[in-house]
Structure 1
Amino acid sequence: MSVAMLETGLGMWGAYAGPCLMYLAWGALLLFGLPLLLWPLRWARLLGWASTPQDHLAIYFGRTLGMVTCAMSIAALMAVNHPSLWPLLYNLNIMIFLANTGVHAWGAIKRIQPMAETWEIPYWFALAAVQYLFYPATHWTWG
């Protein structure tokens, strides 16, 4: 890894990449993935979205996102003891968290989402920053 990348903070806490990945995976699974998979409309109403019990598209998309989150979380938990997989998961997490930052910012700009979703903008950005700081720098290579 280059000195310039260390100077920008990439992986400054990389020695704790494994525990960070594990805690993030458990948190995502228990606080986001499973609730969204099992109760998508309750989750939506909690955040301020209007929905009806017959809102089948919202149920479908909520459960789909919940299942993807559960699958990512389980994959991360399986990879905790395999450090060679950590850069892949950290890169994926950073991309997902930055994309969520953008999606929530766009919704705020267009004024098409409840305020709770707008409050999530710094949350998603902070998750990306945490992944950047805990990046497994000792395992980082370009190729």
Structure 2
Amino acid sequence: MINPDYPLASWYLVIATTFFVVVIALPLLFAPLTWAKWFGWKIPEGNKDLTVYFGRCLGAAALSMLFAVAHGIPDPKSHHILFDMVSLVSGLMIIIHVWGAIRKTQPLSETIEIAVWAVAFVFAVWIRFSVLS
């Protein structure tokens, strides 16, 4: 499973995929309001159907992307576009979370999460343009 020619790239994909599947994708897909409570979000009163719907849609989209990323583990050099996708998603998530932090519309956990997205971004860019070049 781990590519002997590019073990760092393969291990990055294994670790990042596992982390995001367990911490974000599956909880959002199956229990979006519970996930939100874990991260300190206030759950609105009244009808929560739209909130649950968007949470599950985001979880499904994340799980689908992570499934695609996992396919690159055995041969990351041939799937370098996955590192482009990870860096794009991570970069956009940094912007989204910084905007929420500036506006003070998110719990502290989401502001701290900026560091997680930054690490994912830096490693994806570094592996894509240094390790796999």
> Structure 2 length normalisation: TM-score?
0.84
Q: Tell whether 2:19 aligns with 1:30.
A: no
CA 1:135–1:109 in 2, change beyond 3 Å: closer, same or farther?
same
Q: How does 1:3-82 map to 2 (within 5 A)?
A: 16-51=8-43, 52=45, 54-82=47-75
- Give structure 2 stretches of 5+ with no counterpart: 1-5
RMSD: 2.0
Aligned partner of 2:106 among 76, 101, 113: 113
Q: Distance in 2 between matches of 1:133 and 1:15?
A: 14
The C-alpha deviation readout for 1:24-65, integer Å capped at 9, x for no partner, is 112211221111111100011111111147311211111111
- Give structure 1 stretches of 5+ with no counterpart: 1-13
Q: Quote the offset at 1:132 in angstroms.
A: 2.0
Q: Distance in 1 between matches of 2:10 and 2:31?
A: 30
Q: Distance in 1 between matches of 2:122 and 2:57?
A: 26
Q: Quote the offset at 1:133 in angstroms.
A: 2.5
Partner of 1:131 in structure 2? Answer: 124
Q: Is the 8 A contact 1:41 1:53 kept in 2?
A: no
**Higher RCO by CA contacts (8 Å cutoff, separation 6 or greater):** 1
Q: Distance in 2 between matches of 1:16 and 1:82?
A: 11
Q: Radius of gyration: which is bigger?
A: 1
Q: Quote the offset at 1:131 in angstroms.
A: 1.3
Q: Number of aligned residue pairs: give it.
A: 127
Q: Distance in 1 between matches of 2:128 and 2:81?
A: 10
Aligned partner of 1:86 among 67, 70, 79: 79
Fraction of identical pairs, as percent: 28
